[in-house]
Structure 1
């Protein structure tokens, strides 16, 4: 706690005065452009590796960066998604996994958390990732197996994300983009899921290849309204 308190003292002395105008503006409300769903792991700091300012991103953290499928029984993640999309009107949602993830290690080997009932139950939402990997790949290296499970878990959570009504409605209208990232802690790099290519590609390489941010890898399905030549509000 002493480190936290000293950190707060430093914030009051330096960071807050430098950003006083920003905090005064934020005191009246927030308008984040992106929702960021990531792991509760202490090593993952999305505000840091995206160089975001306070008020830029609406962060939801949980064990394993999981998005439970929409259901009548709603939890904190579902409520956060609905609020971000319907109330805050974010334009993007990022589901971000990371290297050396303890939750994915437990998904890889559920016996590691067999004594933790709540954790075991929660990680059932990521079990699909292990099934998909084991059914389609053969890995002799546990680290490669873990890396692929981490990626497939992000893809699975993106699938779950699309079951949420608020998300589905905005995706259909072309008013929301979704993204799947995996952050490498040691390398400080990101791989982004490309729905077009069906794989994860280095985000930094993509940035070098284009000046058009709209062409960067993303997981957003085509707008069905646009595909039909309709616009939001049209009567079909």
Structure 2
């Protein structure tokens, strides 16, 4: 399963080299994964549940990218006129943004989405059993480089 941003500059087949039909994809604004709650189910929760429990995917990649508008909105604000987007992104105060490409901020955002995903009970259970692996990737639109989330940094694949 490949979870990424709705941004059309993210071409999953080009990034992964996957053949058509070999990836189960989910795209959201800002590759946001909503918190797990059976009291307020979402399409995204249902899609992840279907992929993990019905299809039995063995790998999930959460892929963010540079120059992400959603990450920019999280870090710079300016979305007061977009109440649905503001609620979706769950903005949090951040320190000043130095990189106009939002690389560090985008990578931190991927880490945050991994934390949310790993809190899904069925994901945590499958990971604990060794039946599912979860990865964080970051795609740099300017260079085409893909890096993977390691313990303390994102390292080129």
Q: Same fold (TM over 0.5)?
A: yes
Structure 2 equivalent of residue 182 of structure 1: 138
Max Rg structure? 1
What is the distance in 2 between the residues matched to 1:153 and 1:118?
Answer: 19
What is the distance in 2 between the residues matched to 1:156 and 1:184?
Answer: 18
Structure 2 equivalent of residue 11 of structure 1: none
- Describe the superposition over 1:204-233 as per-residue Cα deviations: whole angstroms up to 9, x where unpaired: xxxxxxxxxxxxxxxxxxxxxxxxxxxxxx
What is the distance in 1 between the residues matched to 2:98 and 2:58?
Answer: 39
- In the superposition, the TM-score normalised over structure 1's length comes to 0.63
**Pairwise CA distance, 1:59:** 0.3
Structure 2 equivalent of residue 48 of structure 1: 14
- Describe the superposition over 1:7-38 as per-residue Cα deviations: whole angstroms up to 9, x where unpaired: xxxxxxxxxxxxxxxxxxxxxxxxxxxx0000
Structure 1 equivalent of residue 60 of structure 2: 93
Structure 2 equivalent of residue 8 of structure 1: none
Structure with greater contact order relative to length (CA < 8 Å, sep ≥ 6):
2
What is the distance in 1 between the residues matched to 2:103 and 2:140?
Answer: 10
**Unpaired segments of 5 or more residues in structure 2?**
none
Question: Counterparts in 2 of 1:24-35, with a 5 A limit?
Answer: 35=1
Is 1:120 equivalent to 2:76 in the alignment?
no
**Pairwise CA distance, 1:140:** 7.0
**Unpaired segments of 5 or more residues in structure 1?**
1-34, 204-236
Large movers: runs of 4+ above 2 Å: 139-144
Structure 1 equivalent of residue 156 of structure 2: 202
When residues 120 and 201 of structure 1 are mapped into structure 2, their CA distance, relative to the original with a 3 A threshold, is same
- Describe the superposition over 1:81-127 as per-residue Cα deviations: whole angstroms up to 9, x where unpaired: 100000000010000000110111101111x2110110111110x63
Aligned length: 156
Cα RMSD, aligned residues only? 1.5
Is 1:77 equivalent to 2:33 in the alignment?
no
What is the distance in 1 between the residues matched to 2:139 and 2:97?
Answer: 23
Is 1:62 equivalent to 2:28 in the alignment?
yes
**Pairwise CA distance, 1:141:** 2.7
More helix by share: 1
